[in-house]
Every structure is written in structure tokens, then in C-alpha cells.
Amino acid sequence: MLSIHNLHAGIEGKKILNGIDLEVKPGEVHAIMGPNGSGKSTLANVLAGRADYEVSHGTAEFQGKNLLELSPEKRAGEGLFLAFQYPVEIPGLNTINFIKTAVNEIRKYRGQDPLDAVAFLKLMKEKMALMNIEQSLLARSLNEGFSGGEKKRNEVFQMAMLEPKLAILDETDSGLDIDAIRIVSNGVNKLRNKENAVLVVTHYQRLLDYIVPDFVHVLYNGRIVKSGSKELARELEERGYDFIKHETSEVETV
């Protein structure tokens, strides 16, 4: 589904990713972990196509297409979704209208007819029940005055509405208490199936107690220096990132 080879990227002339290799198949959950500044968020943003980042080398294929050639909205159309670390506020823009526009723009990209008001509402009610989200939240302006937890729930609700093939969760746990993490994780787990994949970007292991990964990758200095099973995450939690820093010279990948 997603295959990244020797990806180098940076921002404003500063190199951040120094050769990433990653293979994600349908049905899999991958976790990208690493200390601050290791390039986790850069990887998420580069995959989503944020213009500030420049790719200097390497390839990224998504669903058989050259991901790096596509505009951000086309990547979304192809089924790539980024749950933002800091979802932006857009005052006055009704959340439901925003989601409806997004759903129909993506349908248009795929050559499908737009959903009419009735069909959209039906889909929305269905996903609201699944995600346990209240309409009162969606009736407000997009993310405006939302608490941290509400913003992240709104991200996962949008994910449910857009049904992406690949969802990238960028530090979705940051700033959330344990109850909020549980709610958000439950939402993500309900959306998992054989066809889609999830890339969880996180600093801490605790999110992975709820969204259990098939693979864990450790990012350090812009490279994946260690890959393993979910046990690797626990090891990192116990020993901290320092042991990775010591090992980097000896071990590249496992």
C-alpha cells in the first residue's frame, strides 16, 4: 500500500529525514516512535504533502502511484488521511459543512456523485454513533474553542467519515489525559479492517496500549534505526531513548 525508499527531506534547507525505508501493507498498524526532533512529524507531513517540506531524494509510492507528485488534496482523494497533531481552528466555518465539503470533494475525485443532504446526514449519524460524538460539537465552528480532547475526537470522526486507506495519526495522544486517549483509540480501533492501514506517530508507548501495533519502528536522526514487534515499544518505555542512541552505531535495522 505504502512503500517508501531512501526518502530524504527537510525544511528551509535543513535536512531532517536521511533515508527512510518503510513498507506498509493493508490491514497493518505501524508505529513510528522516536525522541523529540527525530523527524516523526516531518515524516507525517511529507507524506501528507505539506508545501514547506522539500523532498530531496528517494521515492514514496501509495496505492501504486507516485505519492510525491500528487498535491495534498489528491493524496487525500487517493485515501491518505492525516490526523493532525495541532488541528487548526477556522472561525465561522461550521464543522458539519466542512466535513460535507470534504466528503464530496473526495467523492468527486473518485468519480462518484456527491452525497445529497439526506444521504450525508444518514452517514453522519451512523459514524456519530460509532465514534460516540455529539452533534452539538459538530454544530460549532471548526475546532474553534474545542478542548484538546474534542479536537482529537473531531480528527478521528473525520477519519471515520472519509474512510481512508491509510490513516496517519500524528501524536494524537499529545496533550490528552488517559480517558481521552482511550476514547480516541477506541474510535481508531473501530475503523480498522483488512483493507486499511494505520501509521501511528508517537513519542510515548502508552497510546500503543490501546492501538496495538503490528510493527514498531524507531526513528532517530531522520532514519529508522530499529524495527520490531510491539515489545520494542515497551522496551523503549523502560529503557528510554538513550539505549537507541548508544546502539545506533552498531545496529541499523532488526
Partner 1 sequence: MKSEIFPVKSQDSGNGLSTIEKTVFSDYKYGFVTDIEADEAPMGLSEEVVRFISAKKREPEWMLEWRLKAYRHWLTMKEPGWANIRYPRINYQDIIFYSAPKQKINPKNLDEIDPELKKTFEKLGISLDEQKRLSGVAVDAVIDSVSIGTSFKSQLAELGIIFCSMSEAIREHPDLVKEYLSSVVPLTDNYFAALNSAVFSDGSFCYIPKGVRCPMELSTYFRINAENTGQFERTLIIAEAGSYVSYLEGCTAPMRDEHQLHAAVVELVALENAEIKYSTVQNWYPGDKQGKGGVYNFVTKRGICKGDHAKISWTQVETGSAITWKYPSVILKGDHSTGEFYSVAVTNNYQQADTGTKMMHLGKNTKSRIVSKGISAGFSNNSYRGLVHVSRNAKNARNFSQCDSLLLGDKCGAHTFPYIEVRNNSAVVEHEATTSKIGEDQIFYCNQRGIATETAVALIINGFAKEVMNHLPMEFAIEAQKLLAVSLEGSVG
- Residue 18 CB, nearest distance to partner 1 (Å)? 22
Q: Which is nearer to partner 1, 45 or 185 (CB)?
A: 45
Give the residue with the Cβ less far from partner 1, 79 or 213: 79
Spell out the residues 6+ positions from residue 202 whose beta carbon is closer than 8 angstroms to its own: 31, 32, 33, 40, 169, 171, 172, 173, 208
141 or 227, CB closer to partner 1? 141
Question: Would you say how long the chain is, in residues?
Answer: 254
- Closer to partner 1 by CB, 7 or 48: give it: 48
Own/partner long-range contacts of 149-152 (Cβ < 8 Å, ≥24 apart): 149/176, 149/177, 149/180, 149/183, 149/184, 151/87, 152/83, 152/87, 152/176, 152/180, 152/184
Write down the residue that cell numbers 481521552 correspond to: 180
Compute the least distance from the CB of residue 12 to partner 1, in Å: 7
Q: Which is nearer to partner 1, 9 or 48 (CB)?
A: 48
In the complex, what is the shortest distance from the CB of residue 86 to partner 1, in angstroms, rounded to a whole number? 8
Cβ proximity to partner 1: between 92 and 111 the closer is 92
Q: Which residues bind partner 1 (CB under 8 A)?
A: 12, 48-52, 71-73, 75-77, 81-82, 84, 87-88, 90-94, 97-99, 101-102, 105-106, 109, 141-142, 158, 162
List all residues 6 or more positions away from 138 whose beta carbon is below 8 Å from its beta carbon.
95, 96, 99, 124, 128, 154, 157
Please classify residue 244 by burial: count the beta carbons closer than 10 Å to its beta carbon, then call 0-12 exposed, 13-18 middle and 19+ buried: buried
Dihedral pair phi/psi, residue 133, rounded to 5° = -120, 140
- State in angstroms the smallest separation of the CB of 231 from partner 1: 33
Q: At its nearest, how many Å lie between partner 1 and the CB of residue 75?
A: 8
Closest CB 145 distance from partner 1, rounded Å: 14
